[in-house]
């Protein structure tokens, strides 16, 4: 047995134009037939306007149809071309569910005000029975040109769909699906139990206003009625919230998959986020938005978080894991951009280019070489030797610098870079000091007055990592005293949430100091790379269950799902859960085609591919296993 209803579905009455297909057939036929006609665009627009008025219930359908036919100059060859075109314009959700249409063909009818000549060839290819298609028919002359329509066909008249459904005299429940007012009239007449306004291709407010349900796709309709379907859940019901103006390719990636996306340019504070995150399944942020334990307590449907940046310290990773929420980031996508900014600022500062440029803007010509040096031969000290630090190491060596680094974790050095044993040692030998550490709380003010005092006089100082790792007052004092000859700062303890807020800092106006508004990774290339990378990880997790690349979740890289249903079980990491699950599988005679398990400190992640025959009771037993945090089924 299947988890989905075993009872045959009700009779399903489906509209064709803008429902079964993405377009209006008659409008497209006009566009084909009038190709090369000097008034083609105007005529097609008139036909389209008449179509919309009829669909919205703003004019007599019969009058509109006859006016459209009068404007149409087409023949059989144009219809053949239209059929070929319509085959490429079948609505995605109907294409995905051809199996349902085929298996339930006796229960499904297409009732359309369009024309059989182009509907039957398209609909039957997806499993619709030819004798279950009710539509208008063209009249042709001897040359095959359309000269009119069959006036005796009730679908050419007002209320035609009602007359067809009445004549069918279907016993049992009847559900109507369509985008037009004439589809709603089936419910209004009492011949259909429910009317679903279909909005995958076009949304007509006058139609949705009178609908029992709004079906954003055929998947949505099937899900609402617990019928078998190609997708385990309709993606239109999955809400994605993208904050901080992430790259448009990220938004497109989710929209192309059919998700419901909300896009916000700025960051949100904790109170705002607590309110906005309700009913959100996926959230995408950058570095300014903080996802705290309190925020997660309000996230009643959250399944995944995407950090469109390298760092994840703005997210309570442990709490997210405990709630079964996977977090993904972009650890490499913007490293080159940060490295190039560091190298550029290093050269500008050590050459005193900023000061020279500022003077020249005031008309002062200072050609002196005093205070200007080459980077070649200088010692670059890096605090932190991760993906950015290692890449900067390679570029700096190519410039002729000696590279030293300090990291609390043992790292294999690249090229001729040398690891030092203490931070104090690194500070004392560096001509240029660059910070590349993460934002954990322990790193707060790791560079303060004491550390500046340990540095060489005239050091060049760069912070392109996290704002709170440097005591800004201590840095300002070090610049004023000459201890720091030049500084480049891209991150600050307190940053504006949006471009409209003013920026304030003790570093403003200081000589040979480059201040940038947290743009280390803000290049078109980096943001586009991140915009591709993070959604790809989130979509793999949502669509396939793969958690590979997650920073807080047991990492499992899964094969694509084939001829099975995939059970995803997230549970507290306590002994015996897998044994209990396997007992349930055995008790219910469940055929397992694949099984995977990974755990971390907080949670266990079990993925089981099973045969499609199982009961609702089996699913309920799995959900009730002690320690279960979250359960999903994919197919």
d(CA 396, CA 375): 9
d(CA 436, CA 470): 12
Which 8-state DSSP code applies to residue 19?
Answer: I
Taking only Cα atoms into account, the Rg of the chain, rounded to an integer number of angstroms, comes to 32
β-pair type (432-435, 379-383)? parallel
The Cβ of residue 298 has, within 10 Å, a number of other Cβ atoms equal to 15
Residue of 495, 528, 555, 621 with catalytic role: 495
| C-alpha distances in Å from residue 89, one per residue of 125, 177, 426, 491 | 13, 18, 64, 49
The Cβ of residue 170 has, within 10 Å, a number of other Cβ atoms equal to 16
Q: Are 319 and 302 within 8 A, CB to CB?
A: no
Q: Are 436 and 406 within 8 A, CB to CB?
A: no
Residue of 78, 194, 466, 565 with catalytic role: 466
* CB-count burial class (<10 Å; 0-12, 13-18, 19+) for 252: middle
495 is catalytic: yes
Q: Spell out the residues 6+ positions from residue 600 whose beta carbon is closer than 8 angstroms to its own.
A: 321, 552, 553, 554, 573
Q: Spell out the residues 6+ positions from residue 19 whose beta carbon is closer than 8 angstroms to its own.
A: 91, 177, 178, 179, 183, 198, 200, 201
d(CA 585, CA 365): 83
d(CA 180, CA 18): 9
d(CA 279, CA 240): 9
Longest dimension (CA), the chain: 99
* CB-count burial class (<10 Å; 0-12, 13-18, 19+) for 592: middle
Instruction: Name the helix (H) or strand (E) containing 474.
Output: helix 472-481
361 is catalytic: no
Q: Catalytic residue positions?
A: 466, 495, 518
């Amino acid at each position: 047995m299947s988890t989905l209803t075993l009872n045959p579905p009700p009779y399903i009455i489906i509209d064709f134009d803008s429902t079964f297909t993405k377009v209006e057939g008659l409008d497209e036929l006009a566009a084909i037939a009038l190709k090369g006609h000097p008034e083609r665009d105007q005529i097609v627009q008139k036909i389209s306007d008449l179509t919309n008025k009829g669909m919205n219930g703003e004019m007599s359908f019969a009058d509109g149809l006859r006016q459209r036919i009068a404007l149409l100059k087409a023949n059989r060859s144009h219809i053949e071309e239209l059929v070929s075109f319509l085959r490429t314009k079948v609505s995605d959700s109907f294409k995905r569910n051809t199996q349902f249409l085929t298996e339930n063909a006796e229960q499904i009818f297409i009732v359309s005000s369009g024309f059989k000549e182009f509907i039957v060839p398209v609909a039957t290819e997806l499993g619709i029975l030819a004798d279950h298609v009710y539509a208008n028919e063209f009249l042709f002359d001897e040359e095959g040109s359309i000269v009119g329509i069959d006036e005796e066909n009730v679908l050419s008249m007002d209320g035609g769909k009602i007359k067809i459904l009445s004549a069918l005299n279907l016993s049992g429940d009847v559900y109507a699906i369509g985008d037009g007012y004439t589809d709603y009239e089936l419910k209004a007449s009492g011949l259909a139990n429910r009317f679903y306004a279909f909005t995958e291709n076009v949304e007509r407010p006058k139609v949705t206003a009178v609908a029992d349900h709004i079906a954003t796709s055929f998947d949505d309709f099937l899900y609402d009625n617990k019928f078998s379907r190609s997708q385990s859940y309709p993606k239109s019901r999955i809400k994605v919230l993208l904050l901080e103006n992430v790259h448009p390719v990220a938004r497109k990636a989710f929209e192309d998959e059919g998700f419901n996306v909300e896009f916000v340019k700025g960051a949100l504070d904790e109170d705002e986020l607590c309110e906005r995150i309700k009913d959100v399944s996926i959230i995408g942020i950058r570095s300014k938005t903080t996802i705290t334990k309190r925020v997660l307590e309000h996230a009643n449907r959250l399944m995944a978080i995407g950090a469109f940046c390298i760092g994840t310290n703005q997210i309570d990773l442990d709490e997210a894991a405990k709630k079964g929420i996977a977090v993904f980031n972009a650890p490499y996508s913007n490293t080159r951009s940060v490295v190039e900014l560091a190298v550029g600022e290093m050269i500008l500062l050590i050459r005193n280019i900023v000061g020279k440029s500022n003077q020249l803007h005031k008309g002062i010509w200072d050609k002196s070489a005093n205070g200007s040096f080459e980077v070649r031969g200088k010692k670059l000290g890096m605090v932190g030797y991760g993906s950015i630090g290692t890449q900067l190491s390679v570029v700096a060596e190519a410039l002729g610098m000696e590279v030293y680094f300090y990291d609390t974790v043992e790292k294999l050095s690249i090229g001729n870079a040398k690891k030092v044993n203490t931070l104090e040692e690194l500070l004392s030998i560096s001509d240029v000091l660059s910070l590349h550490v993460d934002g954990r709380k322990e790193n707060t003010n790791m560079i303060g007055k004491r550390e500046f005092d340990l540095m060489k006089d005239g050091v060049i100082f760069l912070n392109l990592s996290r704002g709170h790792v440097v005591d800004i007052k201590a840095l300002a004092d070090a610049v004023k005293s000459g201890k720091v000859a030049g500084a480049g700062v891209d991150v600050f303890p307190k940053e504006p949430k949006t471009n409209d807020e003013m920026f304030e800092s003790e570093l403003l106006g200081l000589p040979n100091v480059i201040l940038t508004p947290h743009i280390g990774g803000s290049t078109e290339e980096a943001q586009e790379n991140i915009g591709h990378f993070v959604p790809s990880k989130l979509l793999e997790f949502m669509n396939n269950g793969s958690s590979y690349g997650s920073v807080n979740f047991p990492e499992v890289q899964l094969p694509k799902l084939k001829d099975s249903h995939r059970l995803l079980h997230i549970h507290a990491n306590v002994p015996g859960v897998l044994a209990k699950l396997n007992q349930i599988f055995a008790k219910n005679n469940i055929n397992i085609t694949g099984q995977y398990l990974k755990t971390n400190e907080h949670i266990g992640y079990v993925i089981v591919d099973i045969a499609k025959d199982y009961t609702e009771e089996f699913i309920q037993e799995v959900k009730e296993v002690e320690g279960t945090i979250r359960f999903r089924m994919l197919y």
